[in-house]
Structure 1
Amino acid sequence: MPNADPLRVVPVEGRRAMAAFIDLPRRLYRGRQGFVPPLALERRMSLDPKKAAFFEHATAQYFLAYRGDRPVGRISAQIDRLHLEAHDPEGGQFGLIEATDDPAVFAALLDAAEGWLRERGMRRASGPFSLSINEECGLLVDGFDEKAMLLQGWSPPYAAARIEERGYAGVKDLIGYIYDPASAPPIDARRLLERTGASDRVTVRKADLKSYADEIRILVGLFNEAWADNWGFLPFTEKELKQLADGLRPLVQDDLVWIASMGGEPACMVVALPDLNEAIADLDGRLLPIGWAKLLWRLKVKGLRQARVPLMGLARRHHRTVLGSALLILVLESLRQALQKRGYTSVELSWILEDNGAMNTLARSIGARPYKTWRLFQKELA
Structure 2
Amino acid sequence: MAGAITIIEAKTKAEKKRYVDVQFRLNAADPAWIPPLKDEVMGLITPGKNPWFGHGHGSFFIATRDGRDVGRISAQIDHLWADMPEEQGGGKATGNWGMFEAEDAEVGAALIAHAEQWLRKEGMNRAVGPISISIWDEPGLLVKGHDHSPTVMMGHNKAVYEQWIEAAGYKGIKDLHTYDLDITKQFPPLIQRIVASGERNQRITIREVDKSKFAEEAALVLAILNDAWSDNWGFVPLTDDEIAYAGKKLKPIVFNELIRIAEVEGEPVAFMMTLPDLNEMQADLNGDLFPFGFIKLLWRLNGGFSGRPTVRTVRVPLMGVKKKLQATRLASQLAFMMIEYIRRDSVAKFGASRGEIGWILEDNQGMVSIAEAIESKINRVYRIYDKAL
Same fold (TM over 0.5): yes
1:354 to 346, 359, 362: 362
1:257 to 226, 241, 259: 259
1:220 partnered with 2:225: no
Residue type matched to 1:37 in 2? Answer: P
What do the CA deviations read for 1:129-186 (whole angstroms, capped 9, x no partner)? 1111111110000000111111110010100110000000100000011112112426
Alignment partners' CA distance in 2, 1:335 and 1:301: 19
Alignment partners' CA distance in 1, 2:196 and 2:291: 54
Q: How does 1:336-355 map to 2 (within 5 A)?
A: 336-342=343-349, 343-355=351-363
What do the CA deviations read for 1:235-279 (whole angstroms, capped 9, x no partner)? 110000000111111110000000110111101110101111101
Q: Secondary structure at the match of 2:177?
A: strand
User: Which ranges in structure 2 are unaligned for 5 or more consecutive residues?
Assistant: 85-89, 305-309
Q: Which residue of 1 aligns with 2:307?
A: none
Q: Which residue of 1 aligns with 2:185?
A: 183
Q: How does 1:158-169 map to 2 (within 5 A)?
A: 158-169=160-171
Alignment partners' CA distance in 2, 1:341 and 1:64: 46
1:319 partnered with 2:326: yes
Residue type matched to 1:83 in 2? Answer: W
Shift of 1:48: 0.5
Alignment partners' CA distance in 1, 2:134 and 2:369: 26
Residue type matched to 1:378 in 2? Answer: D
List structure 1 segments (4+ residues) > 3 angstroms apart after TM superposition.
Answer: 190-194
1:97 to 92, 95, 100: 100
What do the CA deviations read for 1:291-310 (whole angstroms, capped 9, x no partner)? 12221222212522222111
Q: How does 1:41-80 map to 2 (within 5 A)?
A: 41-80=39-78
What do the CA deviations read for 1:296-332 (whole angstroms, capped 9, x no partner)? 2222125222221111001111111111111111111
Decide whether aligned partners of structure 1 residues 190 and 307 sit closer, same or farther in structure 2, where only a CA change above 3 A counts. Answer: closer
Residue type matched to 2:336 in 1? Answer: I
Shift of 1:191: 4.7
CA contact 2:2–2:66 (8 Å) conserved in 1: no
Residue type matched to 2:150 in 1? Answer: A
Residue type matched to 2:151 in 1? Answer: M
Q: Which residue of 2 aligns with 1:140?
A: 142
Residue type matched to 2:91 in 1? Answer: D
Alignment partners' CA distance in 1, 2:195 and 2:311: 31
Alignment partners' CA distance in 2, 1:136 and 1:92: 16
**RMSD (CA atoms):** 1.4
Aligned pair count reads 375
Residue type matched to 1:353 in 2? Answer: L
Residue type matched to 1:369 in 2? Answer: K
CA contact 1:190–1:199 (8 Å) conserved in 2: no
Tell me which moved more, 176-185 or 117-126: 176-185
Alignment partners' CA distance in 2, 1:50 and 1:310: 26
Q: Which residue of 2 aligns with 1:115?
A: 117
Alignment partners' CA distance in 2, 1:208 and 1:299: 18
Residue type matched to 1:15 in 2? Answer: K
Residue type matched to 2:167 in 1? Answer: E
Q: Which residue of 2 aligns with 1:24?
A: 22
2:236 to 230, 234, 237: 234
CA contact 1:192–1:322 (8 Å) conserved in 2: no
Alignment partners' CA distance in 1, 2:70 and 2:26: 8
Q: Secondary structure at the match of 1:301?
A: coil
Q: Secondary structure at the match of 1:294?
A: helix
Q: Secondary structure at the match of 1:249?
A: helix
What do the CA deviations read for 1:334-359 (whole angstroms, capped 9, x no partner)? 11111111211122111000111221
Q: Secondary structure at the match of 2:187?
A: coil
User: Which ranges in structure 1 are unaligned for 5 or more consecutive residues?
Assistant: none
Residue type matched to 1:31 in 2? Answer: A
Q: Secondary structure at the match of 2:252?
A: coil
Q: Secondary structure at the match of 1:188?
A: helix
Residue type matched to 2:97 in 1? Answer: F
CA contact 1:24–1:71 (8 Å) conserved in 2: yes
CA contact 2:184–2:354 (8 Å) conserved in 1: no
Q: Which residue of 2 aligns with 1:309?
A: 316
Q: Which residue of 1 aligns with 2:274?
A: 272
Shift of 1:30: 0.7
Q: Secondary structure at the match of 1:63?
A: strand
Q: Which residue of 1 aligns with 2:8?
A: 10
TM-score by length of 1: 0.95
1:293 to 291, 295, 306: 295
Alignment partners' CA distance in 2, 1:327 and 1:123: 43
1:330 partnered with 2:333: no
Shift of 1:220: 0.8
Alignment partners' CA distance in 2, 1:256 and 1:190: 17
